[in-house]
Amino acid sequence: MNKKKIINDPVYGFINIPSEVLFDLISHPYFQRLRYIKQLGMTHLVYPGALHTRFHHALGAMHLMSLAIEVLRGKGHDITVEEEEAATIAILLHDIGHGPFSHALEHTLVNGIKHEDISMFMMEKLNEEFKGRLTLAIKIFTGDYHKHFLPQLVSSQLDLDRMDYLNRDSFFTGVSEGVISFDRIIKMFNVLDNQLVIEEKGIYSIEKFLIARRLMYWQVYLHKTVIAGEMLLVKILERAKKLASRGETLFATPALQHFLKNDITEIEFFSTEEHLLQFSKLDDQDIFASVKVWVDHSDSILSKLCAMLTQRNLYKVEISNDEPDENRVKDLRERMGVFLNLNETDICYFVFTDIIRNRAYNAGSGNINILLKNNTIIDIAKASDLSNLESLDKTVKKHILCYPRII
């Protein structure tokens, strides 16, 4: 069977599957599942074109890895065929552990277990299946490899994951502020002392990359209507889990039923095969099929929340720099409690506060280093003449208040 396939990607055009093992990994059920997990969770409620998947994104990141290695080899850096394949596998599988609706349900279905840890667990299982072919890829994925620039291509402040998702998300949402010069940035890649650096003439492309990331967070990923949709989905799953814990039977696929009925800790998840087996069968379709059925559930809270989501009658979300006024929150809760005939405990599904954070650049964690012409390096925040670039290193924290529009 010919496994050297060509894929027509809407962002990059024709891309290649570079080796047989990569073809086999893409064909594996773990990876095919990503076809049914949206890259941007509930963002399509705001930007109707944002229906692309984690499958798209992983293939795009794989393509960028091929381009990056070609550039670095062209500049005289030694990368073996085995290292190239391993780095490409690592970037291809970096998101394999994502749950339904990507980040939206990361802390609901599996008790805050990070998707990166699940990705690692799945890669270890795949390594057993593929008789050790992923050993080097796992080293690169975990950062445990002596050529540090290879792990940096997979996970860093300027990794190929971020480069693809900014490019792809701006393409499918139509938000032009997220467009970056990915091809120029990759052409400016170089290596000094085993570290990934950017040549000085690429500094303006990096400035654009960091600013684009900040704008995409506020305009797309943390858009108040996206937050409304994702928080609603979280509250639906919280209610469903609570009902299941009381012994109530809810319609759900076997995979979703497993996570509704069982309160699984991190230790249990990684020590029992059954949990990973069920997780690997779980995708967006399991969740939304259940939500559609739960609209008619006898529990009025679950029914109301599901109706709000399916009819796009989302929470009103207020974002502010300061904590919401306690008296106003109390008043909203009391009014909503009367309107829906709910007690103080159950009103938290409809009126609640939370915090969102955005940090475009973290200078203390895997800095983006600029290679100057005198062969010294300097952090991008210091090298840039943009006065606002250093401010991107600060975490911006905002408070949100969510409540139904009917009040």
Cα dist from 278 to 74, 249, 272, whole Å = 44, 18, 11
User: Residue 100 in contact with residue 170, Cβ under 8 Å?
Assistant: no
Residue 159 in this model has a pLDDT that exceeds 80: yes
CATH number at residue 288: 1.10.3210.10
pLDDT for res 402: 97
Report pTM. 0.94
pLDDT for res 390: 64
Mean pLDDT, residues 110-125 taken together: 89
The tokens of 53 are what? 């998947």
Tens digits of per-residue pLDDT, 203-223?
999 989 988 988 999 999 999
Residue 334 in this model has a pLDDT that exceeds 60: yes
Instruction: Classify burial at 99, counting beta carbons within 10 Å of its beta carbon; exposed 0-12, middle 13-18, buried 19 or more.
Output: buried
pLDDT for res 111: 75
Q: How far apart are CA 157 and CA 108, in angstroms?
A: 27
Residue 82 confidence class, pLDDT cut points 50, 70, 90: very high
Mean pLDDT, residues 280-305 taken together: 96
Residue 154 in this model has a pLDDT that exceeds 70: yes
Task: Give residue 85's domain range.
Answer: 1-407
Q: How far apart are CA 115 and CA 118, in angstroms?
A: 5
Mean pLDDT over the full length of the chain: 92
Q: How far apart are CA 273 and CA 276, in angstroms?
A: 6
Residue 389 in this model has a pLDDT that exceeds 90: no
pLDDT for res 365: 60
% of residues, the chain, pLDDT over 90: 77
The shares of helix, strand and coil residues in the chain, as percent rounded to the nearest 5, are 55, 10, 35
Q: How far apart are CA 233 and CA 241, in angstroms?
A: 12
Residue 105 confidence class, pLDDT cut points 50, 70, 90: low
Task: Report the DSSP pairing between strands 6-9 and 13-16.
Answer: antiparallel
Mean pLDDT, residues 13-20 taken together: 94
Tens digits of per-residue pLDDT, 335-376?
999 998 999 899 999 999 999 988 766 655 668 899 999 989
pLDDT for res 393: 67
% of residues, the chain, pLDDT over 70: 95
Residue 41 in this model has a pLDDT that exceeds 60: yes
Residue 27 in this model has a pLDDT that exceeds 70: yes
Instruction: Classify burial at 295, counting beta carbons within 10 Å of its beta carbon; exposed 0-12, middle 13-18, buried 19 or more.
Output: middle
Q: How many domains does the chain have?
A: 1
pLDDT for res 21: 96
Mean pLDDT, residues 181-188 taken together: 96
